[in-house]
């Protein structure tokens, strides 16, 4: 009996308090704050497009930027929810980015219809995709590292959301920096690459988030 009591006393003495995991909304808010600081710092270095204040008065540009921000926010919260095995009983919220992307595509369609006559294409093309990709490398590394601290059971979906979160930081930065309004260029070299990025996230999630 004494041995059992001593064992219990020893285990109680050695036990360490387990820090509870943060709630998804708090975790997502933390990632959004870091991404916002990253974008602001990048814009401080690269500079805003000279006509940014004027552009914000144009409804389709303002809607596009607002929805890019919405994509960043929704993917951050989705990634936070997907980090938990039970999705924190917030399955619908985890799929919120789907609706934001659908609305974003609709805004781009209306922007394209309103762009008449079409805005001139910039002299560059794929350089924008490369710039966004390079810009998103640091957020990608950060979000995957953060998600590995938890125990996601939706590895591939988590990977998709993680890279879309990172890519949206680059897309938002470049949209506020690059002085172009050609919807054709934006769709082709800024936003359609998100499909390829999602495929990459599908592969990376299985590898990097496995536990």
Q: How confident is the model over 3-13, as pLDDT tens digits?
A: 555 655 555 55
Q: Predicted confidence band at 211 (pLDDT cuts at 50, 70, 90)?
A: confident
CA 68 remoteness from chain centre: 10
Q: How much is the pLDDT for 8?
A: 54
Burial of 126 per CB tally in 10 Å (0-12, 13-18, 19+): exposed
Rounded Cα gap, residues 60 and 63, in angstroms: 5
Q: Give the count of beta carbons closer than 10 Å to the beta carbon of residue 169.
A: 28
Lowest mean pLDDT among 36-45, 89-98, 130-139, 155-164: 89-98
Task: Write the DSSP symbol of residue 190.
Answer: I
Q: 64-67 long-range contacts, Cβ below 8 Å, gap at least 24? A: 64/104, 64/107, 64/108, 64/111, 64/175, 65/172, 65/175, 65/176, 67/100, 67/103, 67/104, 67/107
> DSSP secondary-structure letter at 48?
-
Distance from chain centroid for Cα 65? 14
CA distance 135 to 169: 8
Q: pTM of this prediction?
A: 0.87
Tokens at residue 202, please? 């599908």
d(CA 47, CA 44): 5
For 105, other C-beta atoms within 10 Å of its C-beta total 12
pLDDT confidence of residue 151 = 79
* Mean per-residue pLDDT over the chain, rounded: 89
Q: Which residues of 178-205 are buried (b: 16+ CB within 10 A; e: fewer)?
A: bebbbbebbebbbbebbeebbeebeebb
pLDDT at site 2:
52
């Amino acid at each position: 009996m004494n041995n059992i009591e001593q064992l219990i006393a020893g285990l109680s003495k050695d036990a360490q308090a387990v820090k509870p995991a943060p709630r998804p909304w708090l975790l997502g808010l933390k990632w959004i704050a870091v991404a916002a600081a990253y974008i602001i710092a990048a814009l401080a270095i690269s500079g805003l497009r000279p006509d940014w204040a004027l552009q914000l008065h144009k409804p389709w540009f303002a809607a596009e930027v607002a929805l890019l921000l919405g994509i960043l926010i929704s993917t951050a919260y989705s990634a936070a929810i997907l980090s938990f095995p039970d999705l924190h009983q917030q399955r619908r919220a985890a799929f919120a980015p789907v609706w934001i992307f659908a609305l974003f595509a609709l805004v781009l369609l209306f922007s394209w219809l309103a762009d008449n006559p079409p805005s001139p294409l910039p002299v560059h093309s794929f350089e924008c995709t490369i710039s966004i990709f390079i810009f998103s490398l640091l957020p990608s590394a950060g979000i995957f590292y953060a998600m590995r601290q938890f125990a996601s059971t939706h590895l591939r979906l988590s990977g998709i959301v993680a890279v879309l979160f990172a890519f949206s930081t680059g897309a938002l930065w470049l949209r506020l920096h690059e002085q172009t309004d050609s919807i054709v260029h934006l769709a082709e070299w800024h936003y359609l690459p998100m499909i390829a990025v999602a495929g990459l996230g599908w592969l990376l999630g299985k590898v990097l988030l496995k536990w």
